[in-house]
Amino acid sequence: MTGRIIKAISGFYFVLLEDGRILQCKARGVFKKREVKPLVGDLVTVDPLGIEEGIITDLFPRYSQLVRPTIANVDQALLVLSLVQPALSLYQLDKMLAMLALSAIQVGIGLTKVDLPNASQVLEEVKPLYESLRYPVFALDVRNEVGLDAVRGFLNGKITVLTGQSGVGKSTLLKTLVPASQALTGHVGHRSKRGRHTTTHVELYPYTEGFIADTPGFSQYDFDQLEPTDLGALFREIDQQSADCEFRGCQHVEEIGCAVIGAMKAGVIASTRYHSYVQLLEELKQAKARRY
Ligand SMILES: Nc1nc2c(ncn2[C@@H]2O[C@H](COP(=O)(O)OP(=O)(O)OP(=O)(O)O)[C@@H](O)[C@H]2O)c(=O)[nH]1
Ligand SMILES: [Mg+2]
Ligand SMILES: [Zn+2]
């Protein structure tokens, strides 16, 4: 039988079968010998042992793999940020877009809390910019299910990770999109001291032909290993303009001969994007200095 690993907890894998049953499985010893570890997202072959348990006997080849959170076969990410409460940080948004550009998966941007005061003002400033960079942007009032149809279209048939900082509405969105998500495997996370549910582990929830995963967030580790000179390629418009910089390896911080700064001054590159780039460049240089 084949199925998909939707959750992994202390050596147990929960495998969703084509008929909708979920088997709690151990992996066959041979994986340990080969030093491969089954991951959430993996398509696997299982031998059932009774009606609720089984053994994973084989893994299908992966077509993608995210690290930290570790999920196999992800097609795309939906970045979730709130427009207000907490206030939208364009720096955070640009940083997450750059980090995801490293893993070469598709990205959509969900902007929540459009119902709150001052949110539509922020939305009007931000939406056109990111749409012009060819990112799909979804304005959402998650609690009243406003804007969700467009998100449903984006998710359909894909394996999508939801990611974003705490309190922006990822779990609320998941609960609305997949009402069975809580019933399916129990709880989504633990209840924090402040009384809110916080997501602590990765889990895939079946969604029309695809899956959605609420994640505790992406690790910055691999991003910090990046060479500062490679950062520009992760900003679509900077990458495009940098072809015209006069010096090879231009980091776009010295004005003379820099096409990127020229494009920013001409309004072709948004100054907020350029500033995010410069701030990230600084972070990467510091991370690099710490490595030596
Ligand atoms: N007004 C408004 N509130 C929202 C919206 N979406 C989520 N919220 C509220 O924001 C709070 C945080 O939502 P969660 O879904 O727990 O946030 P999260 O991103 O899962 O947070 P972590 O699990 O800590 O990462 C909850 O009180 C939600 O009811 C929205 O579109 N509008
Ligand atoms: Mg959550
Ligand atoms: Zn340059």
How many angstroms does the Cα of residue 275 sit away from the middle of ligand 3?
Answer: 14
Q: What is the pLDDT of residue 216?
A: 66
DSSP state of 233: G
pLDDT digits (tens, 9 = 90+) for 39-48: 999 999 999 9
pLDDT in tens, 166-180: 899 998 999 999 987
pLDDT at residue 116, rounded to an integer: 98
Average the pLDDT over 125-131 and give the result. Answer: 98
Q: How many angstroms does the Cα of residue 175 sit away from the middle of ligand 2? A: 10
Share of the chain above pLDDT 70, in %: 93
Give me ligand 1 centre to Cα 170, in Å. Answer: 6
Q: Pull the structure tokens for residue 147.
A: 């804007």
At residue 196, the pLDDT reads 47
90-103 vs 271-291: helix crossing angle, rounded to 10: 60
Residue nearest to atom 4 of ligand 1 (CA): 113
pLDDT at 152 over 90: yes
Question: What pLDDT score was predicted for residue 29?
Answer: 80
Residue 191 has pLDDT above 70, yes or no: no
Residue 192, pLDDT score: 43
Q: Write down the pLDDT at residue 219.
A: 74
Q: Is the CB of 169 under 6 A from ligand 1?
A: yes
Q: What is the mean pLDDT of the chain?
A: 90
Name residue 110's beta-bridge partners. 80, 138
Bond preceding residue 69 cis, omega within 30 of 0: yes
177 close to 212: Cβ distance less than 8 angstroms: yes
Q: Which residue's alpha carbon is at the smallest distance from atom 13 of ligand 1?
A: 169
Q: What is the radius of gyration, based on Cα positions, of the chain? A: 21
Q: What is the CATH number of domain 2-59?
A: 2.40.50.140
Q: What residues does each domain of the chain span?
A: 2-59, 65-214, 225-291
Cα–Cα distance, 105 to 76 (Å, whole number): 5
Report CA(278)–ligand 3 centroid distance (Å): 12
Q: What is the pLDDT of residues 192-239, one digit of tens each?
A: 444 445 556 788 999 988 999 988 677 777 788 899 999 999 999 999
Q: Rounded to two decimals, what is the model's pTM? A: 0.90
Q: Which two tokens stand for residue 292?
A: 């030596």
Ion ligand 2, residues whose Cβ is below 5 A away:
170-171, 199
Please determine, for residue 181, whether its predicted confidence score (pLDDT) is greater than 90.
no
Query: In angstroms, how far is CA 202 from the centroid of its own chain?
Result: 12
Determine the distance separating the centroid of ligand 1 and the alpha carbon of 167, expressed in angstroms: 5
Nearest-CA residue for ligand 1 atom 23 is 198
Give the CATH number of domain 225-291; options: 3.40.50.720, 3.30.460.20, 1.10.8.60, 1.10.40.50: 1.10.40.50
The finding on whether 58 has its CB within 6 A of some atom of ligand 1 is no
Substitution candidate for ligand 1 out of 84, 143, 181 with most atoms within 8 A of CB: 143
Q: Report domain 65-214's class.
A: alpha beta
Q: What percent of the chain has pLDDT over 90?
A: 71
In tens, the pLDDT along 23-37 reads 999 999 878 778 888
pLDDT of residue 200: 61
pLDDT in tens, 76-125: 999 999 999 999 999 999 999 999 998 878 999 999 999 999 999 999 99
Q: Does residue 113 have its Cβ closer than 6 Å to ligand 1? A: yes
Give start and end residues of each alpha helix (H) in the chain: 30-34, 90-103, 119-132, 148-155, 170-177, 181-185, 221-224, 236-242, 259-265, 271-291
Would the CB of 85 count as within 6 Å of ligand 1? no
Tell me the best of 78, 162, 168 to mutate to test the pocket of ligand 1, counting ligand atoms within 8 Å of each CB and taking the most: 168
CB 172 near ligand 1, within 6 Å: yes
